[in-house]
Structure formats: structure tokens, C-alpha cells
Amino acid sequence: MNKNEIMDQLREKLDRNLDAYENDWWRTSPSVLVGKAKEIAATQTVYNELHDGDYSTDFMEYLLRFENPLEVVRDQWIQHNALPLDEDMTRVLWHIMDTGDAERDYELDKEYKPPSMDQGVTMC
């Protein structure tokens, strides 16, 4: 897959993730929503940054393996929310990919196939 295809697939997934998250708001009481203000703000920040950002193709392709990449990055974002946005997002993406913890802690997309499985051997 090229960068545009990866980003198109990731944007579609992020859109679905955000829609599902926002739909949950309708079933939540106002007092609970107020308590989730930081999470809601982080969700919107991460969505906007990943949807419109220009990060490494490796990071974006890695996120495709998750059913809910928005949740994966948001949770790390909240934990690392001390640096400037672009520096912090790169650090968050690197941490997610480097530790591999997200693969254990979050549901993987059953339909995702790494590009290497669909392609034969390629020469550089």
C-alpha cells in the first residue's frame, strides 16, 4: 500500500471510531460527560491530528492493525500530555509502536492483513 491508501484506510477507521464514541455520548448523563471532559478533548485532539496530520507511514500503517486506533492513541496521549502537540504526538506514536503493549491491551482488527502478506518478495 502506498501512503495515500494507508491514510485513506486510517481516516475511514478514525471516522468510524469517532462516530461510535460520539454516539455513546447520547446514552451518557451530563454529569458523567463533564467527568469525561479530558477524555473527550483528547479524543477530538487525537482525531484531528491523525486525520489531518502528516506522520510517518510506518506509524499510520501500524495503527491500521487495531479495531479502534483512535482509542489506542488517545489513551497514550492522555498519559503523555506534557509536550507540544507535534512533538508529543510523534512520541506517543513511537511509544505505541515500540512497546507493542497496545497489541495486547486493545482489540486488533480481524480483517487487517499486513502488506507483506499480500505481496510477494520485492527488491529495493
CA atoms within 13 A on the CB side of 120: 1
Length of the chain: 124
Q: What is the pLDDT along the chain (124 residues), one digit of tens a residue?
A: 888 999 999 999 999 999 999 998 888 899 998 998 889 999 999 999 999 888 899 999 999 999 999 999 999 988 887 555 556 778 788 888 898 889 889 999 998 888 765 555 555 5
Return the H-helix or E-strand segment holding 61: helix 57-63
Longest CA–CA span in the chain (Å) reads 57
pTM of the model: 0.68
Sequence-separated (6 or more) residues with CB below 8 Å from residue 63 = 10, 50, 69, 72, 73, 93, 96
Contact 57, 50 (CB under 8 A): no
